[in-house]
Amino acid sequence: MVYDAIIVGAGIGGLSAGLNLAFNNKKVLILEKNGLPGGVVTTFKRGRFEFDASLYDLMDYGSVEHIGSIKRLFKKYNLDIDTSPIPYNVRIKALDNQFEEVIKGEIDDWVLRLEELYRGSMSTFRNMLPILKEIDEALKAIKKGKKSLEDYPNFMKYIDMNAYDALVDLNIPTNTIHILGYFWIEIGSPLNKLSFIDFAECLYKLIFKRPVAVKEKNTSFALKLAKRFVELGGKIYYHSCVKNIKLDNTSEVTLTNGKTYKAKEIICNTSERYALKNLIENELAFANQKENARTISMNGLVIYLGLNKSYQDLKLYNYRYYEFQNLNSAINIKSMNKLYHHTIEGIVPNIINENASPKNTTILVLKTWYNMDAWKNIDKKNYYQTKNELAQSLIHEFEEAFHVDIEEYIEEIEIASPYTFKKHTNWDNGCFFGNMRLGYDNSINRLLSYQDELIPHLSFVGASSVFGSGVDNAFYSGYYVTEKLLEEKRSNYE
């Protein structure tokens, strides 16, 4: 049998691509090397705790007034996913700046607080809001194929500016700029290297298309997507690791166990670099050039803690905690070349979901990031010791920074290193967040060059694709890429 498409990987991008193709009555097979769908969106049990590995905030979801792309797609596929809005409730500390603040309440509350801290924040922030909206509209127009952008003068003005320079141009006070930049640590690009368009898109989503928490566990969410895909006629084979892909009008995919499958289109949900180096048999010089020009994002260490006290007793009152060396994102990201540094994120899921763990217990997820080379000298001999020492130092750092006692209440602990993530996803160096949206390799250039970069019969979805990492981007990429396949002349289906 020749499938219309074979998708390599049942991560969120792969599942989303499968959903859209199956929804359009295409014959689709997903081949997944692990025993469950979801990729890094997965759940694991330790004792009486069930830990979600990655998805805590689902961005671009929105509300009734500002419906986001993800909610719209869930509705289209008739996916019943229960969510709850995530409150702004972030405690930030920056060591060098002796800065400690809780950003809480609604957007107006924190803009008011920023105004109290740094005069001029409120008016300049408000003046920026219509610009964010215009940029969102311009990006939507590009996604729909619009080429002339004169209707979007601010988009054109800021198209080549980095986020830091653009915020200065908008007269936002310097310290407010740094605070607005704190969550860009996830993208791994300092504000002075991140395109303002990417910054504006994320900030717009954060303010208007409010992020939500998915009420069920990561695995159960991924299983719902997989179940719906199968209901729509798709097939998923688990424990099916792809070893080789031969691209042609009818492409052939071979598994490590020797089985082969044929399809008209191949969609990879794996890292582009991994696929081009290890899976694709054909000569793809041009594709490799493009790939080499991309920067893979940071990797990191995640410590999943099951604590045997309630979050109230532990005095963990905030949903999210950040400790930074400095408020300036460029200084922070540079510090991540070393294994021991001071940037930590903590998430307490119990704050928004009382049932995140058994009664009178708490889950705390601590995370830190590294630039790609930080782990390069860690080999098998010193791996476990390094991992454990780093975890211990992070726990102590968190306790000291936020004046809480954690260590004596640990009932369960799991530490995931870059190697854990590498094993699970096949991303080089176990990176967390796909290809960075950095400098010229920003979302506009990726969108504008999408069609030119295509390799016949091969597409990429997920963190390796046009929109970069994040569950929302991975899901949206699955839709976008398959829509292009369905619409464009390139489509091999007819």
DSSP characters over 1-27: -EEEEEEE--BHHHHHHHHHHHHTT--
Contact stretch for ligand FAD (CB under 6 A) within 119-127, 150-158, 169-177, 462-470: 462-470
Sign of CA dihedral 215, 219, 225, 230: negative
Does 60 interact with ligand FAD (rule: CB under 6 A)?
A: no
Map the footprint of ligand FAD across residues 369-428, applying CB under 6 A: 421, 425-426
Interface with ligand FAD: number of residues (CB under 6 A): 38
Report, in this order, helix, strand and coil percent for the chain, each rounded to 5. 40, 20, 35
Contact track, ligand FAD, 190-229, x by CB under 6 A = ----------------------------------------
Does 40 interact with ligand FAD (rule: CB under 6 A)?
A: yes
Does 462 interact with ligand FAD (rule: CB under 6 A)?
A: yes
**CA dihedral of residues 54, 60, 62, 66 (deg, nearest 10):** 180
Does 472 interact with ligand FAD (rule: CB under 6 A)?
A: yes
Among 5, 6, 7, 8, binds ligand FAD (CB under 6 A): 8
Q: How far apart are the first and last CA of the chain?
A: 16
Tokens 């990797």 found at: 299
Among 21, 28, 34, 305, binds ligand FAD (CB under 6 A): 34
CB of 96 to ligand FAD, least distance (A): 26
Hey, is 448 helix, strand or coil? helix
Does 269 interact with ligand FAD (rule: CB under 6 A)?
A: yes
Contacts of 95 (CB under 8 A, 6+ apart): 323, 324, 325, 326, 342
Closest residue to ligand FAD, Cβ-based? Answer: 39
CB closer to ligand FAD, 165 vs 252: 252
Does 54 interact with ligand FAD (rule: CB under 6 A)?
A: yes
Does 474 interact with ligand FAD (rule: CB under 6 A)?
A: yes
Q: Determine how β-strand 260-268 pairs with β-strand 251-255.
A: antiparallel
Among 26, 33, 224, 320, binds ligand FAD (CB under 6 A): 33
Distance CA 387, CA 336 (A): 16
Does 441 interact with ligand FAD (rule: CB under 6 A)?
A: no
Which of 304, 327, 323, 305 is closest to 314 using CA atoms? 305
Among 3, 4, 13, 209, binds ligand FAD (CB under 6 A): 13
Distance CA 472, CA 369 (A): 21
Q: Determine how β-strand 83-85 pairs with β-strand 212-214.
A: antiparallel
Burial of 483 (0-12, 13-18, 19+ CB in 10 A): middle
Contact stretch for ligand FAD (CB under 6 A) within 94-102, 327-335, 354-362, 461-469: 461-469
Does 276 interact with ligand FAD (rule: CB under 6 A)?
A: no
Using CB under 6 A as the criterion, which residues of the chain lie in contact with ligand FAD when the complex forms?
Answer: 8-14, 31-34, 39-41, 54-57, 59, 241-242, 269-270, 302, 367, 421, 425-426, 432-434, 462-463, 469-472, 474
